[in-house]
Amino acid sequence: MKAVLQRVSQARVEVEGQVVGAIGSGLLMLVCAEHGDTRAQADKLLAKVLKLRVFADEAGKMNRSLQDLDGQGSCGGLLIISQFTLAADVSSGNRPSFTGAAPPELGRELYDYLVAQAALLHPSVASGRFGADMQVHLVNNGPVTIPIHIPASALASALPPV
């Protein structure tokens, strides 16, 4: 799975002029499932996102995570939006190829799973609408933008030998 995180002061996503998800300060997560991705990759991605230290501590250093903010009484929001274009391959020609993106059925299943798991683990989660034409509005704070890739091989190497 691939994701791009943006630390935001605020973010919202609209579908047909209606706000379907919004947060104040926190993280905007654009996420893409690729061929062969699994729930285990979604779990690992979510764990990384919730613990990623991209928020300032008292000294102004990036030492706090979304989970740390929750413990401080100032819960940061997490807005999760599906974006298959993260799988774009631009190595040949001028038109991106999206053949690396998961088929829509798998993409939707993994996206819905990721959003549901996030809601179980974090108190402030919002989402876009899978497959919809969405308008995303955000104020990037920093700016801080971080790409994350959780390949299937990362899970295989993390498992203990059998």
Report how far apart, in Å, the C-alpha atoms of 28 and of each of 12, 24, 39, 59, 144 are: 9, 10, 20, 24, 11
Catalytic residue (choose from 85, 99, 135, 145): 85
Catalytic residue (choose from 18, 55, 83, 117): 83
Pairing outcome for strands 26-32 and 77-82: parallel
84 is catalytic: yes
83 is catalytic: yes
Catalytic residue (choose from 41, 55, 67, 84): 84
Residue 153, both tokens: 């091989």
41 is catalytic: no
The CA distance from 49 to 88, in Å, is 22
DSSP codes of every residue in 148-159:
EE--HHHHHHHS
Given a contact cutoff of 8 angstroms between Cβ atoms, the answer to whether 4 and 32 are in contact is no
Q: Which residues form the catalytic set?
A: 83-85
